[in-house]
């Protein structure tokens, strides 16, 4: 009996349901999976589908089925479209990645998220073997990769007793080979201390979007930092989106946090508030963004950049001055300065420098300390204004002191 031919992923439902019937007649569990996913797409619950996948994990996923608990999978038809691969202490990252990508169900995968999940302060998870496995078995359909430190993703501050924090719980190794994959279009990095991520010698011919979410970025001295210099040396000729949190360094009275890696605070309402510290207890000395961002902004001006997001900075006037000094890419359509310490007093800068923002379609100021009435005056600026009131810079690196 001739095996039925699998339709293209975007073929009409009718073709896929006929294919599903043929698979079911042949005793292939993918037939039932297609039918269950069809019901989910029509608004049905996922529980029955997920239970079926668990029951038939090894038949559907091959060797990866034995590690189903490590995966978060999005399905379409009988194919995985997005996979989150969670690596804990002692797990074999290469095995988890290689097993899934070696499965026939991964033939249509579009996005991979490799996540290090540390359980305690002494855990160290090296995701570099998993990154190497992604490169080795890179699916032709995949355009997006995210490398994530789960504990950093859930935190808003990094705490250290020293100006150089302890080693990150989750490391990624060099990103050069991954970035060089021709059809990788989106790369996201979520980490604690961004200075410990290796961005050297990167050539990213296919990259369209780069996102760096960290808990440390900018400091008062030694600008431009090694981080910015590495980022400014990346070759990404097709880049259209650049997003980075500019988490600044604060000195804070947190003597009980001895050698802490990532703050355990779920939000900054539970953390020590730097604004409450007296002059002897804690302060942010400000960042000279004209120096810190100079090489990066010059690099980005050589790309067809459409969206620039620089968020969660505290040295608001210095950031605005840097944009005025170095200018914006001529192709830029959206400038996002959200979750930052911009206040109503900074609105005059925008109005007095209209020419700087004249080419934008959108100016995003969400989560800033600009009040709604003052934000309304920005409607005369030209671009669409997206604004919500907030409390200022959200993410930060806190250096503890007695």
Give the tens place of pLDDT for each residue, 137-190. 999 999 999 999 999 998 888 888 778 888 999 999 999 999 999 999 999 999
Q: Residue 202: its pLDDT value, please?
A: 97
- pLDDT the model gives residue 272: 47
| Low-confidence spans in the chain with pLDDT less than 50 | 1, 258-259, 263-268, 271-282
Rounded to two decimals, the pTM is 0.91
Q: Residue 270: what pLDDT?
A: 53
Cα–Cα distance between 192 and 168 in angstroms, integer?
A: 6
State the pLDDT at residue 182: 96
**Contact predicate 319/338, CB 8 Å:** no
Quote the pLDDT of residue 268. Answer: 44
Provide the terminal-to-terminal Cα distance of the chain, rounded to the nearest Å: 77
106-107-112-117 Cα dihedral, nearest 10 degrees: 10
What's the pLDDT at 156?
84
Instruction: Give which of 59, 2, 70 is closest to 32, Cα–Cα.
Output: 59
**Bridge partners for 209 per DSSP:** 186, 241
| Nearest by Cα to 192 from 233, 160, 234 | 160
Q: Where are the beta strands (DSSP E) in 104-258?
A: 111-116, 125-126, 144-149, 157-160, 170-171, 186-190, 209-213, 241-245, 248-252
Residue with tokens 């995003």: 364
pLDDT number for residue 133: 97
pLDDT at 257: 56
Within 8 A by CB and 6+ apart from 211, the residues are 186, 187, 188, 189, 241, 243, 244
Angle 287-288-293 from CA coordinates, rounded to 5° = 105
* Predicted local distance difference test score (pLDDT) of residue 2: 60
Please give the pLDDT value at position 279: 34
Residues 6+ apart with CB under 8 A from 66: 57, 58, 99
């Amino acid at each position: 009996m001739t095996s039925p031919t699998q339709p293209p992923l975007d073929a009409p439902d009718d073709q896929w349901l006929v294919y599903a019937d043929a698979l079911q007649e042949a005793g292939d569990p993918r037939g039932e999976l297609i039918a269950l996913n069809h019901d989910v797409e029509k608004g049905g619950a996922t529980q029955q589908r997920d239970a079926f996948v668990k029951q038939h994990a090894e038949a559907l996923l091959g060797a990866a089925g034995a590690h189903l608990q490590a995966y978060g999978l999005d399905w379409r038809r009988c194919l995985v479209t997005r996979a989150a691969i969670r690596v804990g202490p002692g797990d074999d990252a290469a095995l988890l990645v290689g097993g899934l990508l070696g499965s026939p169900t991964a033939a249509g995968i579009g996005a991979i998220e490799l996540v290090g999940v540390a359980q305690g302060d002494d855990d160290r998870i090296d995701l570099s073997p998993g990154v190497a496995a992604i490169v080795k078995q890179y699916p032709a359909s995949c355009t997006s990769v995210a490398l994530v430190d789960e504990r950093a993703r859930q935190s808003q501050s990094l705490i250290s007793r020293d100006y150089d924090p302890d080693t990150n719980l989750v490391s990624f190794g060099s990103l050069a080979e991954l970035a060089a994959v021709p059809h990788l279009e989106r790369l996201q990095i979520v980490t604690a201390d961004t200075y410990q991520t290796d961005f050297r010698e990167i050539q990213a011919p296919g990259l369209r979007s780069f996102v760096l979410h960290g808990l440390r970025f900018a400091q008062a001295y030694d600008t431009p930092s090694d981080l910015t210099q590495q980022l400014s040396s990346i070759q990404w000729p097709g880049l259209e989106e650049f997003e980075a949190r500019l988490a600044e360094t604060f000195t804070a009275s947190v003597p009980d946090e001895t050698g802490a890696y990532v703050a355990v605070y779920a939000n900054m309402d539970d953390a020590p508030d730097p604004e409450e510290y007296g002059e002897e207890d804690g302060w942010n000395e400000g960042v000279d963004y004209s120096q810190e961002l100079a090489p990066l902004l010059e690099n980005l001006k050589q790309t067809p950049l459409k969206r620039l997001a620089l968020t969660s900075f505290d040295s608001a006037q210095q950031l605005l001055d840097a944009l005025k000094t170095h200018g914006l890419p001529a192709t830029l359509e959206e400038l996002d300065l959200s979750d930052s310490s911009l206040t109503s007093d900074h609105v005059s800068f925008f109005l007095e420098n209209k020419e700087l923002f004249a080419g934008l379609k959108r100016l995003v100021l969400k989560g800033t300390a600009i009040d709604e009435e003052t934000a309304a005056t920005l409607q005369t600026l030209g671009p669409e204004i997206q604004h919500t009131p907030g409390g200022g810079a959200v993410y930060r690196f806190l250096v503890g002191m007695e």
